[in-house]
Structure 1
Amino acid sequence: MTPQSAEGGVRGHVLVVDDELSMREYLELLLHREGYVVTSVPAVKPACELLAQDGVDLVISDMKLGTGSGLDVLRAARARPEPPEVVLITAYGSPAAAVEAMREGAYDYICKPFDNEELRLLVQKALEKRLLRQENRGLRARLLPGLGMAVGQSSRMQEVWALVEKVAPSRSTVLVTGESGTGKELVARAIHMRGSRAAQPFMPFNCAALNEGTLESELFGHMKGAFTGAMQDRAGLLVSAGEGTVMLDEVGEMPLATQVKLLRVLQEKKVKPVGSAAEVPFKARVIAATNRRLEAEVKAGRFREDLFYRLNVITLELPPLRERAGDISLLANHFLARMAEELGRPALRFAPETLVLLERYAFPGNVRQLQNMVERAATLSDSDLLGPTTLPPAVRGESEPVARTGDGNEPRLGGGFNLERHLDDSERRYLLAALKQAGGVKTRAAELLGLSFRSFRYRLAKHGLTDDLEPGGSVDA
């Protein structure tokens, strides 16, 4: 696996291929200063000989190599069992050359003259992608044998996993739906890992986290000079994922204008980078996920009907945890085993009465809430036996519980009860509590409530709470 520096930056072995001695020496010096191991060669043949030995994490090659070409180096690199990333450099850049390089599997394409900082960031991101691919392979090896156990054995989840097995080998677009915290990303990863793309990157992308312009640049890429700050051509996520999988999380939050472009992209299997007249093909599989009912969003005019049908080729609906209570103990013990390993406390275990309390709780935050609850209990407990006192007060019944439907515990109502006011008051209290716990950082508060930032901001405005800061800012709660 690619080593890392003490500062956390990805470091590795870089092969420089250029027929100009001055350029090789320049790149060697620049990359050595960044902590990389660098080998440089002047031609295609010695580059291919080095690539045949493995151990190269990244190739930086000139496109013009005497009688050879950087594309020859790229093809040799892509033929390796664990191919290094490849960045091509040229003084003769053109959209056609960029398209050819991307079609052949290059990570990115940069034109001379280039800024040192541009190249440094490009190298770092390319090596981060390689590291992510290696981690995905390791994760697949660890999770595949017991993936169903890790998620649940209820009949509802067995149906989900049976469908995962069927759709994983295909190229079909999959739409994963379910409440926040039900494990949509885990299911998307399972589809990726159980198919032929498992050795390629899995790239989740939150469609609600960026504004329209930045969203399109990240997904489709952009050309140098397309907008302020676009210092070089950049491949978007769909292209840079190669033959891997791109998960479009919170796709229901995507702006309508971007929905139009995404529909065309999915139909044509080509992207048009921002500021470019040329289209670039991509091979990545797309999995979309949302906690919204897209049929209702279509009727309300907030989501395009044609895009909905394009995404909705195969739908996987994840049940909320309250509808598969039989999985709660299984999941709790699974998360506790992971925490015990991380903390070096193999004797950690739940008391029986603790598991009973967990099974009775509604878990409005679903599996994610349960996982956080187990992490809290394991981290704060001085004893290896996790008793009821390690659970939050709400789970122990010491504060107003979240009502569960169909369990015989219906609330008692008196005259003059106003449901809307009650729900509004409860929502406002939860918003303020989340802001307080998050130290006023709204993006973190939204995560604590299992909401997208856009939805969280809407609720703040609805209750007249301060909402004039950036997502990372704070609110006077």
Structure 2
Amino acid sequence: MGAAARGPVRVLVAEDEAHLGTLLEQFLVGRGHDVTLVRDGKAALAALRERDFDVALTDVQMPGLDGLALLAAARALPLAPEVIVVTGNGAAETQLRALRQGAYDAVAKPYRMAEIDLLVHRAAEKRAMRRALAATSVADVPVPRFVTTDAALADAVARAESAAASGAPLLLIGEPGTGKRTLARWLHAHAGRSGPFVDADPRAMPADERVARLHGRAVDAEGGPAVPSLSQLAAGGTLLLRGVETVEPRVLEQLVAAAAAPAGGHALVGTVERVAMGQEAVLRAPFGDAVVGLPPLRARPGDVTVVAEQLASRRAGAPVTLTTDARTMLEARSWPGNAAELAAVVAAAAARLAWGETELPLAAFER
């Protein structure tokens, strides 16, 4: 089924050229899309964090936060939109960088409005398929140890390891891209569980399936097999439940109680990106003291170097270190997209390393 058949495509347009931005907005609205227009990168990121968009259409050259940084930040969101990047005429290298960093497509100015409409529809269709596949995924891929140079976070991780080892349900709170999923996968591996690691996002599930997965009592209307509950899928392993702030408190309490019971058979790790005013106590209550806050990268600059060197080494297949001036530059940035933005920047720089080089210099980041 096409995107149009499911209703209007929710499109965020980030364009600092006032006339062009207005033209895009009017054209896309005329094509039946639900459009939000912003004039700079920071406003675009704020909009993405506040609302669920199917597609983000962003210019590269914008004040505050450029289009590539916005792309990285968008990809770190739990319900990431497909991103179409618009570059200046002749900026082939920028288009290639955008595609390597995960953009759905990159188009150069001047472009035809009909081309943009077609890309928006196709990007929305891809996102719908991606959400359907990612609503619940099962993975048992080996993961590296969660490492931090921040003393308070290291202490919190140690407490989380102890809770995971005992099977106590755990709540992780932090902005998108701060490492909640990485930590959850490490805790699963560290606890040595025999079952799978199930990554579930109720927000990405159709309403009828969401109820079935959470409550575990779904019977197919056509007489087919029942849909297994999340707890059944995670038997003997770990259930990562993202966006627990969207789960009804009574249902969340039931899920936590089921996992904490001796016969529960699986560990439960819940995550939340933002806690609304007055909601924190309700969210924390089912988890007791097993709550860990993960600060953003801007609050722990020492971890920027650690993560960057891990990423570069993984890409190179051998240990890679950053030069002093490269470390200084990376640690000075605010990283609104957290680990996803850092990963995109490091990947682009590491791709410029010559074969056999073991140091990543500042010059690799400035090209």
In structure 2, do the counterparts of structure 1 residues 171 and 389 end up closer, same or farther at CA, with 3 Å as the change threshold? Answer: same
- Residue 236 of structure 1 and its aligned partner are, at CA, apart by 1.7
Deviations 1:48-104 (A, max 9, x none): xxxxxxxxxxxxxxxxxxxxxxxxxxxxxxxxxxxxxxxxxxxxxxxxxxxxxxxxx
Counterpart amino acid of residue 375 in structure 1: A
Q: Which has the larger radius of gyration?
A: 1
- Residue 392 of structure 1 and its aligned partner are, at CA, apart by 6.7
In structure 2, do the counterparts of structure 1 residues 221 and 376 end up closer, same or farther at CA, with 3 Å as the change threshold? Answer: farther
In structure 2, do the counterparts of structure 1 residues 166 and 224 end up closer, same or farther at CA, with 3 Å as the change threshold? Answer: closer
CA contact (8 A) 1:205 1:248 kept: yes
Counterpart amino acid of residue 241 in structure 2: L
Partner Cα separation in structure 1 for residue 284 and residue 151 of structure 2: 28
Q: Give the equivalent residue in structure 2 for 1:234.
A: 227
Q: Could you tell me which of 363, 367, 374 is aligned with 2:339? A: 367
Partner Cα separation in structure 1 for residue 232 and residue 273 of structure 2: 26
CA contact (8 A) 1:348 1:378 kept: no
Aligned length: 228
In structure 2, do the counterparts of structure 1 residues 392 and 313 end up closer, same or farther at CA, with 3 Å as the change threshold? Answer: farther
- Residue 222 of structure 1 and its aligned partner are, at CA, apart by 4.9
Counterpart amino acid of residue 360 in structure 1: A
Percent identity, please.
22
Q: Give the equivalent residue in structure 2 for 1:167.
A: 163
- Residue 352 of structure 1 and its aligned partner are, at CA, apart by 3.0
Q: Higher RCO, 1 or 2 (CA under 8 Å, sep at least 6)?
A: 2
Structure 2 matches for 1:332-371, cutoff 5 A?
332-341=308-317, 346=318, 349-371=321-343
Structure 2 matches for 1:381-460, cutoff 5 A?
384=357, 386-391=360-365
Q: Could you tell me which of 242, 245, 258 is aligned with 1:249? A: 242
Partner Cα separation in structure 1 for residue 256 and residue 160 of structure 2: 21
Deviations 1:9-28 (A, max 9, x none): xxxxxxxxxxxxxxxxxxxx
Deviations 1:168-187 (A, max 9, x none): 22122111111111101122
Asked if 1:285 is matched to 2:259, the reply is no
CA contact (8 A) 2:179 2:339 kept: yes
Partner Cα separation in structure 1 for residue 203 and residue 278 of structure 2: 15
Structure 2 matches for 1:156-235, cutoff 5 A?
156-197=152-193, 199-225=194-220, 227=221, 231-235=224-228
Q: Give the equivalent residue in structure 1 for 2:349.
A: 377
CA contact (8 A) 1:205 1:247 kept: yes
| Unmatched tracts of structure 2, length 5 or more | 1-136
Partner Cα separation in structure 2 for residue 169 and residue 205 of structure 1: 21
Structure 2 matches for 1:264-279, cutoff 5 A?
264-267=254-257
In structure 2, do the counterparts of structure 1 residues 297 and 350 end up closer, same or farther at CA, with 3 Å as the change threshold? Answer: same
Asked if 1:298 is matched to 2:279, the reply is yes
In structure 2, do the counterparts of structure 1 residues 360 and 222 end up closer, same or farther at CA, with 3 Å as the change threshold? Answer: same
- Residue 202 of structure 1 and its aligned partner are, at CA, apart by 1.2
Q: Give the equivalent residue in structure 2 for 1:323.
A: 299
Partner Cα separation in structure 2 for residue 214 and residue 340 of structure 1: 42
- Residue 328 of structure 1 and its aligned partner are, at CA, apart by 1.8
CA contact (8 A) 2:184 2:269 kept: yes
| Unmatched tracts of structure 1, length 5 or more | 1-127, 271-280, 394-477
Partner Cα separation in structure 2 for residue 268 and residue 237 of structure 1: 11
In structure 2, do the counterparts of structure 1 residues 235 and 191 end up closer, same or farther at CA, with 3 Å as the change threshold? Answer: same
In structure 2, do the counterparts of structure 1 residues 161 and 266 end up closer, same or farther at CA, with 3 Å as the change threshold? Answer: closer
In structure 2, do the counterparts of structure 1 residues 224 and 364 end up closer, same or farther at CA, with 3 Å as the change threshold? Answer: same
Partner Cα separation in structure 1 for residue 336 and residue 294 of structure 2: 14
Aligned-residue CA RMSD (Å)? 3.2
Counterpart amino acid of residue 298 in structure 1: Q
In structure 2, do the counterparts of structure 1 residues 347 and 189 end up closer, same or farther at CA, with 3 Å as the change threshold? Answer: closer
CA contact (8 A) 1:220 1:235 kept: no
Partner Cα separation in structure 2 for residue 158 and residue 241 of structure 1: 27
Partner Cα separation in structure 2 for residue 339 and residue 242 of structure 1: 34
CA contact (8 A) 2:258 2:264 kept: no
Counterpart amino acid of residue 362 in structure 2: P
- Residue 364 of structure 1 and its aligned partner are, at CA, apart by 1.3
In structure 2, do the counterparts of structure 1 residues 268 and 152 end up closer, same or farther at CA, with 3 Å as the change threshold? Answer: closer
Deviations 1:375-413 (A, max 9, x none): 1222355674544343378xxxxxxxxxxxxxxxxxxxx
Q: Give the equivalent residue in structure 2 for 1:276.
A: none
Partner Cα separation in structure 1 for residue 195 and residue 363 of structure 2: 44
Partner Cα separation in structure 1 for residue 177 and residue 313 of structure 2: 20
SS for the counterpart of 1:175 is strand
After TM superposition, the score normalised by the length of structure 2 is: 0.54
Structure 2 matches for 1:23-62, cutoff 5 A?
none
In structure 2, do the counterparts of structure 1 residues 174 and 390 end up closer, same or farther at CA, with 3 Å as the change threshold? Answer: same
